[in-house]
Amino acid sequence: MLKSKVAVQVISSGMLPDDTLMLGESLVKQCKIPQGQHILLKFGAFRQYVKVIPVAKYDGMRMSHGLSRLLGLTGGSAVRVQYKSGSSTLVLGPLIGVLVSRDYPNMPDKPFGSITMFCRELVEACTAQGAYVYFFTPKQIGSNLNAVDGWIYSDGWRKVTVPVPDVINNRLTTRKLENSPSVQHFMKEVKQKHQTTVFNEKFLDKTEVFDALKKDESLARYLPESHLLRNYDMLKSMCSRYSSVFLKPARGSLGKGIIRINRTDDGSFLALHATAAGSRKQQYPSLMKLFTAISAKMKTARYQIQQGLQLIEIQKRPVDFRALVQKNATGKWTITSIVARTAGDHHFVSNLARGGTLSTAGEAIARSNLQAGISRKDASLRLKHAALQIAGGIDAQIPAHFGELGIDLAMDTSGKVWLLEVNSKPSKNDNTPLNDNKIRPSVRMMIQYSRFLSGF
């Protein structure tokens, strides 16, 4: 069952019937494709009977304009070919669909706004690997469960009708879109009808992740004490055990809405609120007064209360780490990158949106106040080991399919690694900078995993 990559050439329907494909003679022989009889052509959800004509001294694939339109394939694309003799099926692919939140049809150069460059990079990487990718939004999901209107790139962005893909990478950025009835119905139906695989199928929230990982003793050591904040007694109990605690919105991101509570020497309590401009301080004479002030927020958002940690710092600015963990060409978790994020001045969260700065993990560890005796190499290995273990734990404990995770880790001054949170929709802009000429390892890995899932 060979999986050769071939270039697609589209010719006039008058020269070639829509139920006929031309393939290089050597490929026809290699794959043992029968000649002169109808076999089933499969591309994602598309199925049609075709005849194959071998062409001497040719290594591509020719199809009619009519057939290419049904497939959503353009001339100049490259796809992989495999023949399954048991079912007499010629399979082209892999066909990858990326579900994104929105498009801007009136901006032909940037139809996906700030992620357009990432989408182009994905197209380039797919061409190199012999995969075909398109992009679609919830608005483009209709009642037809065999095809969608998707965006492809071929000398510019354009919209075409494309079969439902072999693999969908869910890159929706809001829970509201993800949980909409049309999206949920589409995901469920294409899995059942076409055996489409969807990865990163759902958002994670902090409470769900911590509750799931607590079940595994080998992972519990990475978890700061953490609970869903339900009442004053829980706040009082945590503040009596720890000199500082964090309140984090269970569904927050980018450091929004985080509150750090410190007990002061005179028995009062200081609340630091993370804002875009820096930390906003509020002093309360008693814990009850503080609880009364934040209980209004608790009516509209669930908060996770978490043990405060003595994180390593660079010049009194806390440092944490973002590990991008992805499944590879054999379906195993692997570390694609780990970067350090140092908080900006007057901030206690490290997010780039809050003025944080990026560096390599090794650089940050070397410049930090990590206690003597722990080498940069040893500290980096601890971070990698923790990220891979946590990714495995998410797979084992949470009933959903993930192919990449952004895992936020911290290290305290004694070298112990702690989990801060897990993000199932990691940004494509905060691990390594975009580069016009270079395809990032994270993009290549996503395609390799999609090929693994689809048998290519």
Reading the block at residue 92, the tokens are 């082209």
Reading the block at residue 165, the tokens are 């893909």
Task: Specify the amino acid at residue 256.
Answer: K
Q: Residue holding tokens 């100049």? A: 76
Do the Cβ atoms of 321 and 439 come closer than 8 Å? no
Find the angle CA(337)-CA(341)-CA(342) to the nearest 5 degrees.
155
* Closest to 109 measured CA to CA, from 159, 156, 160: 156
- CATH architecture type of domain 95-199: 3-Layer(aba) Sandwich (3.40)
**55-81 tens-digit pLDDT:** 999 989 999 999 999 999 999 999 999
Residue 265 has a pLDDT of 85
The sign of the torsion formed by the CA atoms of 212, 217, 223, 226 equals positive
Of the chain, the end-to-end C-alpha distance in Å amounts to 10
Highest mean pLDDT out of 272-276, 297-301, 346-350, 441-445: 441-445
* Closest to 456 measured CA to CA, from 162, 206, 83, 188: 83
Residue 260 has a pLDDT of 87
* 226-228 and 244-249 strand pairing: unpaired
pLDDT for residue 417 is more than 50: yes
Q: What is the band of 276 on the pLDDT scale with cuts at 50, 70, 90? A: low
pLDDT for residue 278 is more than 80: no
- Which residues face 42 on adjacent strands? 47, 91
Residue 432 has a pLDDT of 46
| 3-state DSSP assignment of residue 181 | helix
Over range 315-329, report the average pLDDT: 93
Least-confidence region, from 179-188, 301-310, 435-444: 435-444
**E strand map for 94-154:** 95-100, 132-136, 147-153
Over range 110-133, report the average pLDDT: 94
> Between the CA of residue 70 and those of 137, 144, 146, what are the distances in Å?
20, 14, 11
pLDDT for residue 433 is more than 60: no
Residue ranges, CATH 3.30.470.20, the chain: 216-220+311-424
Residue 272 has a pLDDT of 86
Residue 350 has a pLDDT of 46
Residue 429 has a pLDDT of 55
Q: Please write down the HEC assignment for all residues of 324-374.
A: EEEECCCCCEEEEEEEEEECCCCCCCCCHHHCCEEEEHHHHHHHCCCCCCC
Kind and range of the H or E run holding 7 = strand 4-11
Q: Within 10 Å of residue 298's Cβ, how many Cβ atoms?
A: 14
Please state the length of the chain: 456
Cis before 94? omega within 30:
yes
- Which residues face 359 on adjacent strands? 340
**CATH class (in words) of the domain with range 225-307:** alpha beta
What is the rounded CA–CA span in Å between residue 129 and residue 375?
39
**330-383 tens-digit pLDDT:** 999 999 999 998 886 554 454 444 457 888 899 999 999 988 788 889 999 999
Least-confidence region, from 161-170, 195-204, 277-286, 312-321: 277-286
**E strand map for 232-316:** 244-249, 259-263, 269-275, 278-284, 303-307, 313-314
pLDDT for residue 430 is more than 50: no
Q: Residue holding tokens 């399919």? A: 401
Residue ranges, CATH 3.30.1490, the chain: 225-307
pTM, two decimal places: 0.89
Q: What is the band of 183 on the pLDDT scale with cuts at 50, 70, 90? A: very high
pLDDT for residue 266 is more than 80: yes
| 3-state DSSP assignment of residue 8 | strand
Reading the block at residue 69, the tokens are 């339109």
**CATH class (in words) of the domain with range 216-220+311-424:** alpha beta
- Which residues face 51 on adjacent strands? 20
Fold of the domain built from segment(s) 4-93: Barwin-like endoglucanases (2.40.40)
Average pLDDT in the chain: 90
Q: What is the band of 437 on the pLDDT scale with cuts at 50, 70, 90? A: low
